[in-house]
Amino acid sequence: MIPFAHIAAGCSGLAAASVLSTSATFASPIAPQSSAADLFEIECVDFLDSSHRLEIPADLDGDGRVELVGWWSPSTSFNHADFHVLRQDPASGAWTETTTFLNTGAGAYSGDTHTIAGDFDGDGGDEILILHLHGYEVIDTDSAMQPTRVATSAAAFALSGTVREAAAFDMNADGLDDLVIVDGASVRLLLSTSVSGQIDFSLSDQLPSYGGEVRMAGIQVSGTVTPELILLQDHAHPAVWTLHVENGEFGPGTRIFSRATTGGQRIDLAPGDLDADGDVDAVLFGHDGSYEVLRNHGGVLALEASRVGGPATALADLDGDGDLDGICCGGSGVSQYNNGVSVFHLSLNAGDVQFESAIAFDGLGAHHVTGALDFDLDGDVDVLAGRAVLLNRDEIGASFCDATVNGSGQPAELHVTGRASILAGGPQITGSALPSSTTCILLASSSLDPVAPWPFWDGQLCLGTHQLRRLRVATADAGGGVNMGGSSDWSTGGFQVGASPGLPFTYQIWFRDVTPGGSGANVTDASRILLTL
């Protein structure tokens, strides 16, 4: 099992441009009963100081790459919380802060807060809506990620009581995201009235509040053009409702599920395509360790029998097997400073939507999951929340540069496991589908720029000429497998030369091949890894 770095409350000592911490204190995860324990490790993310916390991912400039949106509180006052954006360099993978701070106004760190992203003006990039105890903020950003507060019609946001939930959907098929907001008194539909880039909303319809905490998802059902809303009403007698919008008005709600009681346990709604049929289903996760699947059968929602597993609040493919796993996080509330202990929960899907009982990992400063994305550009999905990232350490390389068929009858593959951390021993390299008992050489190079493939023996080489090196010679076994080991096995020691955090290394294995008519040698596919300290 890979050890997991325990995150202390301070999480200090990192420079502003740092990506990951290098904590040397390790502890096992809480209750390691799940195979998730073999995949993940905690690292701390500390961009400036302990006042930071990540809230949501969003594509702010519409370029297809995700930015991270968060908050920074520069003082002990609850009346000041600054908006900030972090952007990832697509070559090095480093995250850097890009924004000039913008005070989001009173109460952004107190009471109930909710942050969502949506394309409200149709420009292809996301804008941000922040709801907090004393009001709301709509924030747009320019190409340099500099934020601007957008003036909108106050009448549309005449919210009542405590804000519970908000979601952005295109509810009238006009290409603009609209808002559905649940406050203490009502469910409100705010249609975007944005014209020529000027963002605004108008109140189109409202219904009395469903009571308790309400969570929402939008899914395509009933053959409609616009999404159907699923509302989860979570209180002493939880229920799930579907709600259709047509011509800017809410249709009648239909209750499709209810429980007599939850014993005070929270229920969460996690949407996703569970059966890869192209439509969106949902899972109702109870924090009592049970869940129900709400499956979308071509537009007809059907509730399946309760199962044991979870909990989770969102879905993502964590182990790369093609199905969706459960993730959630919480624990430190809405504290101004982000030193509160929090927890990650991961619940792997064992197949046929059978979620394992969740395993818990220590976290820091989170009251919800920020998102699931490839944080370190190693080709897999990591989980972010608050001031920590749960790094996926299954196969860490991002594979590319397809291999050609060799004498084994298959293309040879290169596999990278272990850790990208230089201090932790670096990656471990193996190969498969090689000719039996053939001679193999591990090659590596470092480059900040993508390398175009070029013909090389019977295959194609995707290594650059910068710091090109031969790291180790080994012989494949009778089954066509080879173990190149890690950096301690690479006798040239070349791995350490020039290796530094944020530097991507590319690996390939050259091997002798006696395919008839061939050149006598071939190469595996390539894997590109972003090294960390």
User: Residue 326 has what pLDDT?
Assistant: 93
User: Residue 44 has what pLDDT?
Assistant: 64
Give CA–CA dist 105/480, Å, rounded.
63
Give CA–CA dist 387/373, Å, rounded.
15
The strand pair at 114-118 and 127-132 is best described as: antiparallel
Give CA–CA dist 147/35, Å, rounded.
42
pLDDT in tens, 145-184: 888 889 888 888 887 776 678 889 888 889 999 999 888 7
Return the residue matching tokens 């519409």: 62
User: Residue 172 has what pLDDT?
Assistant: 87
User: Residue 48 has what pLDDT?
Assistant: 44
pLDDT in tens, 73-123: 655 555 567 788 888 887 777 788 887 777 765 444 444 578 899 999 999
Give CA–CA dist 375/43, Å, rounded.
11
User: Residue 340 has what pLDDT?
Assistant: 72
Return the residue matching tokens 């399946």: 304
Joined tokens for residue 260: 């007599």
User: Residue 124 has what pLDDT?
Assistant: 93
Instruction: Tell me the whole-structure pTM to 2 decimals.
Output: 0.70
User: Residue 303 has what pLDDT?
Assistant: 87
pLDDT in tens, 384-396: 888 888 877 666 6
Distances (CA, A) of 4 to 32, 257, 445: 11, 39, 29
| Domains of the chain from N-terminus onward | 48-350+365-374 (2.130.10), 398-530 (2.60.40)
Q: Which residues of the chain have pLDDT under 70?
A: 1-39, 41-51, 72-80, 104-112, 133-134, 162-163, 210-213, 220-226, 234-237, 258-265, 331-339, 393-398, 419-425, 447-450, 465-467, 487-503, 531-533
